[in-house]
Homo-oligomer: A and B are copies of this chain.
Amino acid sequence: MASNKVLTLDSINPNVKTMEYAVRGPIVIRAVEIEKELAKGQQKPFKNVIKANIGDAQAMGQVPVTFIRQVIACVTMPKLLESPDFPDDVKDKARTILRGCGGGSVGAYSQSTGVDIIRKHVAEFIERRDGIPCDYENVLLSGGASEAIRNVLKLFITRDSSKKTGIMVPIPQYPLYSASIEEFNLGKVDYYLDESNKWALDLNELERSYQESKDAFDIKALVIINPGNPTGQVLPRDNIEGIIKFAQKHNLFIFADEVYQENVYAQGSKFFSFKKVLSEMGKPYSNMELASFYSCSKGYMGECGLRGGYVELLNWDPKVVVEFKKMISAKLCSTILGQAVMDCIVNHPKSGEPSYDLWIKEKTAILDSLKERAQLVTKAYNAINGVSVNEVQGAMYAFPRIELPQKVIDIAKSQGVEPDFFYVKELLEETGVCVVPGSGFGQKPGTWHFRTTILPQSDTFKDMIERFTRFHENFMKKYG
């Protein structure tokens, strides 16, 4: 039937076939189907699906920050600037953004790098954060961090088929990296985070990974996710220094995925940007090539659907910057409203301004609640027999380890799936709880995990952990 099609499984881009993106993989596709089945009135042992598969705060009930939405409404409909219902600082910001737009409208394209005034505000934010100068010409706005990460990764594509370019990524990792590396025909070089030590990043392991892969791959870059996704660790400053020394020694480009920089919960943990640390280390480290990513989707904002983000390019060859800017120009520009959200985040209300009190109240409430849920999740999973989880120091996820009986491993093998996929699939079908199997992020061979967000609000979380506990006990009885 399909044999005369132009596009078939045999003819399409082979890397598209082999790429996997677990956060939206078969489990999540099945979860969406189950929701539709429930909506049609199909009987299930549960009434709703609880989606703990993706860091999507507002989908789980988090309320948007008022200031952000007021600004976006005003730039969308400038007539609202005449309304007495909007505070003056909202209006000022909206006017500033509109002045930066072509024709004074968010409906005009911006430069591919973004609206200049917003890029300048981002640069000022980075300067305040790090105490290190930032040139706004090195700041490029993007539709979420994912787009920027993929754009930078694309520069590493080669046409040399003899040896793939190696990109070092943590295991477990966020599957944007594995998916994009596969799509771009690059080589993924794994280094393992240390589960027995709170998912710490061990320098000896970095070196082991490099040495064992350097003949097979032309290793050029190192990806760091800090705070960690899915593992939640927050890197201490001395650890970052060690990582930078390692990267310098092997002349590696650093991808600093710092989208969770606002999400730090654990006592004693603090976020340090890679830019700050390598700049303060002095030469030769302060000359290293870096790309640092941020987003409006995480933090306290959780504006995933509005698609805002940026990348800062540090110490790049100016000629490469020119090529990079040319490359992104073919997609014209990222959404202006997403860019405007980034402006609200990097240049938020200051003490004394009309919107400040409400803004700080909302921000604090969200971050306090996330902190509470981080502790709750840790405690709840550790209380279950056969499940253990490290403290969630930061980000929005826990990555609990599950001990699976040999019988499960055998059945999964016979079905051609990973044992944690089998577990998570049964969890979904029997309880409606949707989490992502650890195999989608990578894990040490012979260990099994799943990733859950810490985002369900307290009632939902209580419901979820009850469903989970009951399921886990039954599962163990059935297969143990």
Chain A residues packing against B (C-beta within 8 Å)? 2, 4-9, 11-17, 19-21, 23-25, 32, 51, 54, 56-62, 64, 69-70, 72-73, 76-77, 80, 101-103, 105-112, 143-144, 146-147, 150, 154-159, 161, 175-176, 179-180, 183, 185, 220-221, 251-253, 289, 302-307, 315-317, 319-320, 323-324, 326-327, 329-338
Contacts and interface: CB of A to CB of B under 8 A. Distances in A.
A115 to B, nearest CB: 9
Contacts of A306: 106-107, 335-337
10 contacts: A2-B317, A12-B323, A13-B156, A24-B329, A58-B103, A58-B108, A73-B80, A106-B306, A144-B331, A180-B330
Contacts of A316: 5, 7
Most chain-B CB neighbours within 10 Å: which of A14, A58, A80?
Answer: A58
Enumerate the 6 nearest inter-chain pairs by beta-carbon distance, A residue then B residue, closest first. A59-B102, A305-B336, A59-B108, A24-B329, A58-B107, A6-B253
Contact of A335 (B23, B109, B337): B337
B107 A303 contact: yes
Contacts of A62: 103
Please indicate which of the listed interface residues A72, A103, A112, A150 has the most CB atoms of chain B within 10 Å of its own CB.
Answer: A103
A154 B251 contact: no
A251 B400 CA distance: 51
A144 B338 CA distance: 14
A176 B331 CA distance: 8
A229 to B, nearest CB: 13
A234 B463 CA distance: 59
Nearest to A321: B7
B327 A289 contact: no
A253 B8 CA distance: 12
Contact of A150 (B101, B331, B334): B331
A60 B74 CA distance: 21
B330 A176 contact: yes
Given A106-B306, A107-B304, A144-B332, 11 more contacts: A2-B317, A9-B323, A15-B157, A21-B330, A58-B102, A69-B76, A102-B305, A107-B305, A146-B330, A183-B327, A305-B337
Contacts of A107: 57-58, 64, 302-306
